[in-house]
Amino acid sequence: MSYLVNAFSFLLELAFGAAAALFMLRLAAEASRADFHNPLSQFIYRTTNPVLAPLRRLLPNWRRINVTALLLIFLLMLIKRVALFSLLGMFPHVLGLIVLSIADTLDFIAMFYVVLIFVWSLMSLFQVESYHPVYRLAGSLVDPLLRPLRGRLVAGGLDFGPWAVMIVLILARLLLVSPLTDLGARLALGM
């Protein structure tokens, strides 16, 4: 029976992760002012706009942060947690569920940027054409994180700025998200 639960939990993680990634791309694209003429940016906008447009009337942007997209990512993580607990036949405490969802949201955002920086670095290593839509979008999304270190961590012609940012993001997962997840699990299970 646990094999079936593992398979269903994998599929739940995959489905909710894909939906959250779409809204995270929209959030990051708006925050970094990505080129709207990029075909990928247009796809992200057209796909997420039917959900975000009605809700944005209630929750407007704060500076360049799409609060509605961030809230939807949190809600997706919350629904995913409820579904995972229900697969196990458990009913968690609400406070623990909220803390776990916040931890999942922070973890998702950190891993999103780690993967994005890694993909962008890999593409630049293989000298992908600079006008390629994926390269342009990834470059504009990682630029706000990499800009403060640009040119400061160069050795032998290699820029180690992306590695430094990835290390900071992974440390944030270990030192911030993991304790928050542990606290949420204890609260959810009533320990």
pLDDT for the residue numbered 60: 87
Report the chain (191 residues): mean pLDDT per 10 consecutive residues: 86 96 96 90 94 90 91 96 91 94 97 96 82 89 92 83 95 96 93 74
pLDDT for the residue numbered 1: 52
- The number of distinct structural domains making up the chain is 1
Distances (CA, A) of 190 to 82, 90, 143, 146: 16, 12, 42, 41
Domain extent at residue 69: 2-189
Which residues are paired to 159 by β-bridges?
154
Long-range Cβ contacts of 170-178 (<8 Å, 24+ apart)? 170/110, 170/114, 172/106, 172/110, 173/107, 173/110, 173/111, 176/106, 177/103, 177/106, 177/107, 177/110
Task: Give yes or no for a contact between 68 and 59, defined as CB atoms under 8 angstroms apart.
Answer: yes
